[in-house]
Structure 1
Amino acid sequence: MARNEQQVAVMVDGGSLRRGDVIHIGGQPMAVFDLHHVAGGAKRIAFRSGDVLTITPRAALVVLRTVAGWEGPQC
């Protein structure tokens, strides 16, 4: 059985967001390019498109995250 990568939907908060996560904003998928901590525990998210979003640490988001080690189709 082959191992590969797959995107899965994961519920995260502002503290567990990672580079590479994909967030849908206004129906558009936007990949997180960079994260910066700002005052009050918030995070400023920079996207590959150049757009920026600031979220609080309690913000709940559903993101697509690439995970490794999933089994491929069985033959």
Structure 2
Amino acid sequence: MARSERQVAIEVGGGSLRRGDVIQVGGQSMAVVDICHLTGGAKLIAFRTGDILTITPRTTLVVLRTVAGWEGPVC
């Protein structure tokens, strides 16, 4: 069977956030397009919508991340 991509929900710390991750902010799904490092370990997150969010190194988020390697149908 061919390998396919699938989005999975995982919990990540502020340091593990990646471009392409999708998080919910105010009930709206927002895709991360850029991450800028700020002093003190904080990060400025830019979204596809043009909105921004600042997080600290201690911030924990649940993100949808696209991963490869899933085989077969999902039940």
TM-score of Structure 1 vs Structure 2, range by shorter chain = over 0.9
Residues 21-75 of structure 1: CA distance to partner in whole angstroms, max 9, x if unpaired? 000011100000000000110000000000000000110000000000111229x
2:12: which partner in 1?
A: 12
2:62: which partner in 1?
A: 62
2:22: which partner in 1?
A: 22
CA distance in 2: counterparts of 1:73 and 1:65, whole angstroms: 18
Taking structure 1 as the reference length, the TM-score comes to 0.94
SS in 1 for 2:20: coil
Taking structure 2 as the reference length, the TM-score comes to 0.94
5+ unaligned residues in a row in structure 1: which ranges? Answer: none
What is the correspondence of 1:17-56 to structure 2 with a 5 Å cutoff?
17-56=17-56
CA distance in 2: counterparts of 1:24 and 1:2, whole angstroms: 30
Count of residue pairs the alignment pairs up: 74
The residue type paired with residue 32 of structure 1 is V
Q: Which runs of 4+ in 1 moved over 2 A?
A: none
Q: Percent identity?
A: 74
CA distance in 2: counterparts of 1:73 and 1:29, whole angstroms: 25
Across the aligned residues of Structure 1 and Structure 2, the Cα RMSD in angstroms comes to: 1.2
CA distance in 1: counterparts of 2:71 and 2:5, whole angstroms: 9
